[in-house]
Structure 1
């Protein structure tokens, strides 16, 4: 992620595949735990439309997983 906070609205999401031998995915979930977006690593850019809440990004590559959060709030 290139920033921890955004305004509500549409945001482009893509995941660069630095290791083309390792498949993986990025899953974005809202505060309710429901999945709002799934992006294949190295796949096409997708649009995440945020509302005022905190989103959890979980990236899985091979056997590794990392998680980060994104806060969407009015400025």
Structure 2
């Protein structure tokens, strides 16, 4: 209930409530290169920690193949 009253106060003051606070999903999709930039650092760390370079290369080549279509 406190969240709802807080939103009402913001709206009453003429401020917009960000979509994340209002509980709504943002519209639109993420560009594939943005998704790659987000995942790549974690993938590198996991490959180094677990020694899975072959698996990473196999998966990367599969993704490149799908994006190339």
Does the pair score TM above 0.5? no
Larger Rg: 1 or 2? 2
Which TM-score applies when normalising by structure 1? Answer: 0.19
- Structure with larger RCO (C-alpha < 8 A, sep 6+): 1
Hey, which of these two has a bigger chunk of strand by percent? 1
Structure with a larger share of its residues in helix:
2
TM-score normalized by the length of structure 2:
0.20
